[in-house]
Structure 1
Amino acid sequence: MLYGIAAAAATAALLLTAVLTALLRAPARRLGIVDRRRQRTVPQCGGIAVAFVTCLVAAAGEWTGVAPLDGGVRELLVAGAAVAALGLVADVRRVKARLLVGGTALAAAWVVPYGELGFGGGVLAAGWIVFVAVGFKALDHADALAGTVAVVTAFGVGVLAAAEMMDGLAALLSVLAAALTGFLMHNRPPARAGLGSCGALFAGFVLASAAVVTRTGHEPASSAGVLFSLTALAGADVVLVLLSRRLAGRPLLRGGPDHLAHRLRRLGLTSCGATVVLGVGAFSGVLVAVLAHLGWVAGSGVYWVAAGALVVVLGLLRVQPYAPRRPVNTQVRAQLRVRNG
């Protein structure tokens, strides 16, 4: 009975998100809520639809009593909505990165179960939630990539929640996965709508927070491995970008064509091909995490995921994403010294 209700709610979320995303495309263009990708502009309205519909369907289930949310799930959803609102502000106007990170950290600190994890474990869990949320925001640089990885991760975390008999959380994740699928109807290459900071931060935050909740009470080391495997692709993208910019002497927070999908395209893959390859990589990590959580594979299986992520990062680090700097001749240097006194 419960799974039938969850399926109906997920279907409603998929259809509502698909329709709302289409309706918001024109207003987003008029308001300038767009992102430029390869000489074209993409309205960043999909995230608004995903966050709004997910919260709406979940709230409707709670209000009608058909699919009530547990206390912890309710707090998680409220915190996720706050993160989505912060992301929407960033989509509408320029917001400093530290404000986004700080706001997400406050929301994460609110939902972390300190009673079971302890203060130190709670701080680490909150930091990991922020890292994953930022990682999903970074993935929203290529058509269909962030949405695909989020859908795969949502199904994986939903299986973990169902295995732990957390029915309310499993229902919420199914609704989120369905809403993201409805958004992907407009996000397949060439994308007609993007997630934006609103949707990417919301999806990453909810998924990471739900994963922490499902692993609460398990052995810390194995939990760390499962959580890493669930979001290995987003983590690998962040590490690759930070290492690349550090080695190149570029500002860490300045955008650039140095993400996983960018480098795969430089190796000859099409935009769709890069998304498929990365989607398969995300699925592989999620599958190992689910099997490890269910006890069907040894916990050491996550080491293979870590090794694979390390190989990918080191291998793609050799792909040069930046244009070579133009040398400055001696005469220009002399003129600059004269101008600068």
Structure 2
Amino acid sequence: MLYGIAAAATALLLTALLAALLRAPARRLRLFDRRRQREVPLSGGPAVVLVTGAVVGAGHWIGVAPPLDDEVLELLVAGGVVAVLGFVDDVWRLRRRVLAVGTAVAAACVVPYGETGIGSGLLAVGWVVCATLGFRGLDHADGLAGAVGVVTAFGAGACAAIEVMDGIAVLMSALAAALTGFLVHNWHPARAALGASGSMSAGFVLAGGVVYARAGQGLGESAGVLLALTAVVGADAVLVLVSRRLDGRAVLRSGPDHLGHRLRRLGLTAPGATLLLASGAFSGVLVGVLAHAGWVGTDALWWVAGVALAVVLALSRVRVYGPRSPGRTVSTQVSAPLRVRNG
């Protein structure tokens, strides 16, 4: 317990410090978040990844923590690979299919097939890929990916602690603390950004940790718990994919049509939209943890899915796309509304 608290406090402070120190090098190298009109340096992602791995590994190295479990080592290594893949995407824009394939390979190396079986294990790989790319998509507003990531990490850590998986629980605690330290610089107006390296690696580690915690349990209930823990991520992904498809737009092309964009269109401030979505994430995580512990029935998981679906249907009616004209391409159609992003 004391080690977990010390590790979390260290991760928070080191991430806040490192994210600040890396801002100047990121500016010199012109590493900025492409999704923002302001030049926000991509110093948060490397800080979160490096500090999380260093804090978890240092505890074992100096002898104040138990030996690292195989699951923790696998998640750290695979998460590092995904972070490198995301960093390459930050520097040279990669196709989404490349990100998906690379993440799938990393996920296939960490899924515990002995407990899940081959069929459920392959489904888990698919879910890890979706959650990872979903977290990347959620990084569209100041503070949003970090805040939702913190809440999800606490939920994943709680699920691991219930299963007495101390290594996974400490990893989730360190990640939650690192994301909190990053939020010091990412709260509106952001002075540092996660980028694909930070958002994808965080999403991957979170998804992988929950898969380990749920391994060997019922497939249907496990799916409900996983969806509850990532309710906001899933709602954002479904909203974007469905709305672009119905509007005849390229599904994989970025646009101002995420949850945060639509809430801003309704008049919420950037911090207000982030706090509202983080509160929604907390509600889903709370239900997921209680269901994992067996303290609430599976009916509660259906309520989470129903509320998420209602939110998607309601926000899908918020107009975010500009009018079409025959001579315009998809890319020019979505460029103009980007000016109302997150201020």
Which bin holds the TM-score, normalised by the shorter protein?
over 0.9
Aligned twin of 1:49: 47
> Residue 162 of structure 1 aligns to which amino acid in structure 2?
A
Q: Once the two structures are superposed, what CA deviation does each residue of 1:244-287 show, in whole Å capped at 9, x if it has no partner?
A: 11011111111100000000110111111110110011000000
Instruction: Tell me the C-alpha RMSD between the 2 structures.
Output: 1.1
Match of 1:4 among 2, 5, 17: 2
Q: List runs of 5+ in structure 1 lacking aligned partners.
A: 329-341
> Residue 322 of structure 1 aligns to which amino acid in structure 2?
Y
Task: Tell me, in whole angstroms, the C-alpha distance in 1 between the residues paired with 2:83 and 2:240.
Answer: 24
Aligned twin of 1:66: 64
Task: Tell me, in whole angstroms, the C-alpha distance in 2 between the residues paired with 1:128 and 1:37.
Answer: 25
Task: Tell me, in whole angstroms, the C-alpha distance in 2 between the residues paired with 1:90 and 1:18.
Answer: 24
Aligned twin of 2:276: 277
Aligned twin of 1:21: 19
Aligned twin of 2:287: 288
Task: Tell me, in whole angstroms, the C-alpha distance in 1 between the residues paired with 2:162 and 2:35.
Answer: 40
Task: Tell me, in whole angstroms, the C-alpha distance in 2 between the residues paired with 1:127 and 1:193.
Answer: 30
CA positional deviation for 1:39: 3.6
> Residue 55 of structure 1 aligns to which amino acid in structure 2?
G
Q: CA 1:133/1:237 → structure 2, altered by over 3 Å: closer, same or farther?
A: same
Superposition pairs of residues 1-341 of structure 1, within 5 angstroms = 3-36=1-34, 39-67=37-65, 68-326=67-325
Cα pair 1:288 1:302 within 8 Å, conserved:
yes
| 1:192 match: secondary structure | coil
Structure 1 length normalisation: TM-score? 0.94
Cα pair 1:17 1:179 within 8 Å, conserved:
yes
> Residue 246 of structure 1 aligns to which amino acid in structure 2?
R
Q: List runs of 5+ in structure 2 lacking aligned partners.
A: 328-343
State the structure with more CA Rg: 1
Task: Tell me, in whole angstroms, the C-alpha distance in 1 between the residues paired with 2:76 and 2:190.
Answer: 28
CA positional deviation for 1:8: 0.7
Please say which of residues 62-71 and 253-262 is displaced more in the overlay.
62-71
Q: Once the two structures are superposed, what CA deviation does each residue of 1:71-120 show, in whole Å capped at 9, x if it has no partner?
A: 11111111011101111111111212111111110000000011111111
Aligned twin of 1:333: none
Task: Tell me, in whole angstroms, the C-alpha distance in 2 between the residues paired with 1:66 and 1:103.
Answer: 34
> Residue 43 of structure 1 aligns to which amino acid in structure 2?
P
Identity %: 63
| 2:54 match: secondary structure | helix
Task: Tell me, in whole angstroms, the C-alpha distance in 2 between the residues paired with 1:230 and 1:152.
Answer: 9
Task: Tell me, in whole angstroms, the C-alpha distance in 2 between the residues paired with 1:66 and 1:113.
Answer: 27
Q: Once the two structures are superposed, what CA deviation does each residue of 1:213-271 show, in whole Å capped at 9, x if it has no partner?
A: 00112111111110110001101101100001101111111110000000011011111
Structure 2 length normalisation: TM-score? 0.93
| 1:324 match: secondary structure | coil
Q: Once the two structures are superposed, what CA deviation does each residue of 1:146-196 show, in whole Å capped at 9, x if it has no partner?
A: 000000000011111111100111111111111100000000000000100
